[in-house]
Structure 1
Amino acid sequence: MTRTAVVIGAGIGGLSAAIGLHRAGWDVTVLDRVAVFRPVGAGLVLQANGMRCLDALGLGDAVRTQGRPSISGGTRRADGRWLARIPAEDLERVLGTSAIGVHRAALHDILLGALPAGAVRTGARVTAVTAEGEVTYDGPPGPVGVGADLVVAADGIHSMVRRLLWPRATAPVQVGVRAWRGVTPVWDGELVVAISWDRGAEFGIVPLVDGRVSWFAAVNAAPGPSADGDTRVPARFHGWHDPIPALIAATDTVLRDDLACLDEPLPTYVRGRVALLGDAAHAMTPNLGQGANQALEDAVVLAAVAGQPGGLAAYDSQRRPRSQQVAKASRMIGRVGQQLENPIAVAARNTLMRLTPPRLALRSMARYADWRPPASTT
């Protein structure tokens, strides 16, 4: 008998899990509350671990055609002075594959296209889930109830499934950082890829394959409400090194978010037939660039073990320690990186970065991306 799975959430993690399960012979249904998928978001970097996951799902080459290999980068000060510089070819040599910069919408389209027609149901708002695999959702015809051998909760940082089945779990917390993201039109100017830091502020650049540039900016900001609809990037970035002011000025649509994460690690990612995945399980800050990559790791591991005896316990034991370690490290990097404001501490950090041998800096950058999927998924 064919095993059945319901995936709640059609983001990167949810779709990747659905693809992996479908390839393993499962009958998969994906539910998402949005009525129509729109090309929203900005760029992201698929690091070596994420690209290996996509290779395991049979989609690595398709993503490479829609993405741009990472080029030389590092960390700079707001005035442009380099603190650390790591050539992309050195990182590729250590990891065996290059990182890829890709627009989130392009990746989403590739993932959607890898599932059979009818597998993804939009306009489906999930209202109830049980540990026994019963799912109730409101669809266009009205309320619908389905049962499944496996329920994958990939419904994001504010996961409804986590609230229902993990009632003692601590809610997400705002980290005190406001972020802006944008994508320029085709960029003809000079471009040096780097992350730039100032006291309590950061700016990053991700070139895309079609000549556009994705960027993000972040500043410390007290958690709480802010002016609705105000997406203006703070004026402090206008004085940063080139081409930062020009990139901001060239961007028509800017997205703004107050960053949050799950600061209290969950004791398990599994309840009965239900498994949490991606941000629903381990929402992390973006400081290591590992959010989407960790969701991809979740997806390929779950697809590899879900059909085995004790498969969900194996998923939990394999994914929870690593993903929580990455989340903890990302939080720490944010505190000593973008969030650091004390001028003495900033000066000490910058000096340490300049004096760190490139070999050690390279090892540090490669540490969290050096992961390979289970052999059974390839």
Structure 2
Amino acid sequence: MKKNILISGGGIAGLTAAKLLYAQGHHVTVIDKAACFSKAGFLLSLKSFGVSIIDELGLRKKLLEQSSPSEYVSFWEANDQLIQHISYEKISQNTERSVLISRGGLHHVLYEDIKNKIAVRFNTTISGLVRNQETTLVSLSSGEALAADLVIIAEGLRSPTRQQYFKDCKTEDFNMLYMGGKLTLRHDFTVGSFKIYIDVHKMLSIYPIAADEIAIQCYIHHEGDLPVRSMNAAELLKRSFTGYNKQVQDLLRRFAADGLMFVDKMGMVNSPDLVNGPLVLLGDAGYCPTALSGMGASLSIYGAKALAHFIGKTPEDLLSACNNYNTLMQPIIQKFQGNARKNAASFIPDTAERLDQFVGSFRAASDTQLQQIMTDPILLTQDQLSFATT
């Protein structure tokens, strides 16, 4: 049964849902506030079931073409004492090998696949909704109105539509500032071998992804509002890593001066119900687990597939489909948001004592224990992978 489905938000979750629902024969329209899409974006790691679903969608080859090499990761103390050196191949024996890619690169793969099939309206947002018995009349910022059988809200962490129509949703402040991006620079680092510094109230990751390009990510404890000017963020970056070795400080200075930097305050969305009548939350709009979960992109892709799965089962009863999706997702959301909190406490400890405790245990961990720390938490059960809700 063909339905009119409006997806508000053309990010990773929205485009994945659009592709899957279009394949089921539904009439799908995507709207996005952006004037256009670009390949710019911070670095992310697509892991586990996220890679598997991309493979099922027939996009693995294109995904790998956009990816960056990733072979090893080493964890360090601020004084350049090695904590652990880990092989991605070895640590991924029980799951799909993770794929390192920019958010814009992953988004580009999805958009190029659907852009000639599905209408994507740029510079367009939802202005209002009027629910009728059969359909929902959606007023758009362009002045148009669309009739939709289902409205999928995939607008990201700070979704205005969620804030208006899902009053029980709360945003959990991590008191953490994320600063990430890329710098074009000839360097002496080994491409594909990454360095992560663990410290009190901060973590710095250096990703040499090409001979002339380095990606940088850092998390810094930060209470209050997001710095309003980029120079505030640059100054915070410089001040936070004073005392680190000269190579690191020079790199951060160049990054602040010449790099493409994204700065955001981290938060998680706690949504007791992802469904409100003909509206359903998807991706970060409904369950952002933060980058500290390591699974934000994968969970967005999985959620899109789960929603499409249930719609495909009962296209004549979209409310039941959405409720089944909500039932499936809630414990999974709790799992990955719990992972984010645990990772924040472990990898960005709030005291020197906790830092010493974690460094000691992490340094002494066996290969089996490392796998339990690094990969076991990101796996789903077989029932979850097959979308069983009972």
TM-score (norm 1): 0.89
Instruction: Tell me the equivalent position of 2:114.
Output: 115
CA contact (8 A) 1:56 1:300 kept: no
Contact 1:174 1:259 in 2 (8 A): yes
Write the distance in 1 (CA, Å) between the matches of 2:226 and 2:94. 44
Aligned to 1:353: 362
Task: Map Cα deviations across residues 290-310 of structure 1 (whole Å, 9 max, x no partner).
Answer: 111111111111122213233
Residue 181 (structure 1) aligned with residue 176 (structure 2): no
Residues 74 and 271 from structure 1, CA distance in 2 versus in 1: closer, same or farther, beyond 3 angstroms? Answer: farther
Displacement after TM superposition at 1:209 (Å): 6.2
Give, in angstroms, the shift of residue 205 of structure 1: 2.9
SS at structure 2 position matched to 1:127: strand
8 Å CA contact retained: 2:168, 2:272: no
Deviation at 1:99, TM superposition (A): 0.9
Aligned residues with identical type, % of pairs: 21
Structure 1 residues 60, 157: closer, same or farther in 2, change over 3 A?
same
Q: Distance in 2 between matches of 1:292 and 1:160?
A: 21
Measure the CA separation in 2 of the matches of 1:152 and 1:255: 26
Q: 2:340 aligns with which of 319, 330, 338?
A: 330
Provide the rounded CA distance (Å) in 2 between the counterparts of 1:227 and 1:3. Answer: 43
CA distance in 1 between counterparts of 2:68 and 2:228 reads 35
For residues 5-37 of structure 1, the C-alpha deviation after alignment (integer angstroms, 9 at most, x for no partner) is 111001111111111111222221100112222
Which residue of structure 1 aligns with residue 42 of structure 2?
42
- Equivalent position SS for 1:259: strand
Residue identity opposite 1:270 in structure 2: V
Change (3 A) 1:177 1:331: same
Q: Does 1:259 align with 2:266?
A: yes
**Cα deviation digits, residues 103-129 of structure 1 (max 9, x gap):** 222222211111143511101121123
2:385 & 2:343 partners in 1: Cα distance? 28
Contact 1:67-1:209 at 8 Å conserved across structures? no
Distance 1:345 1:304 in 2: 43
Matching residue of 1:203: 204
Distance 1:227 1:125, change over 3 A: closer
Q: Say yes or no: does 1:106 pair with 2:117.
A: no
More helix by share: 2
State whether residues 189 and 208 of structure 2, in contact with CA within 8 Å, keep that contact through their aligned partners in structure 1.
no
Task: Give the drift of 1:220.
Answer: 1.2
Cα separation, 1, equivalents of 2:88 and 2:304: 27
Measured in 1, the distance between the counterparts of 2:53 and 2:194 equals: 25
Unaligned runs of 5+ in 2: 315-319
Separation of aligned partners in 2, 1:28 and 1:236: 46
Matching of residues 86-165 of structure 1 within 5 Å? 86-95=86-95, 97-117=96-116, 119-129=119-129, 132-139=135-142, 143-165=143-165
Name the SS for the 1:152 alignment partner: strand
Contact 2:336 2:378 in 1 (8 A): no
Q: Which residue of 1 aligns with 2:317?
A: none
Structure 2 counterpart of 1:244, from 242, 245, 248: 248
Q: 1:274 aligns with which of 276, 279, 287?
A: 279
Distance (Å, rounded) in 2 between the aligned partners of 1:286 and 1:36: 24
Query: Between Structure 1 and Structure 2, how many residues are aligned?
Result: 368
Partner residue of 2:330? 320
SS at match of 1:356: coil
C-alpha separation between the residues in 2 aligned to 1:207 and 1:21? 37
Contact 1:86 1:362 in 2 (8 A): no
What amino acid is the match of 1:224? D
Q: Partners of 1:301 and 1:186 in 2: how far apart?
A: 41
Q: Return the match for 2:293 from 279, 288, 305.
A: 288
Distance 1:209 1:14 in 2: 30
Contact preservation (8 Å) 2:22, 2:28: yes
Shift of 1:227: 4.4
CA contact (8 A) 1:284 1:331 kept: no
Secondary structure of the structure 2 residue equivalent to 1:22: helix
Which amino acid is 1:237 matched to? F
CA RMSD of aligned residues (A): 2.3
Opposite residue 137 of structure 2, the aligned amino acid is: E
What is the aligned partner in structure 2 of residue 344 from structure 1?
353
- 1:298–1:319 contact (8 Å) kept in structure 2: yes
Match of 1:18 in 2: 18
Amino acid at match of 1:68: S
Change (3 A) 1:86 1:305: same
* TM-score normalised by the chain length of structure 2: 0.87
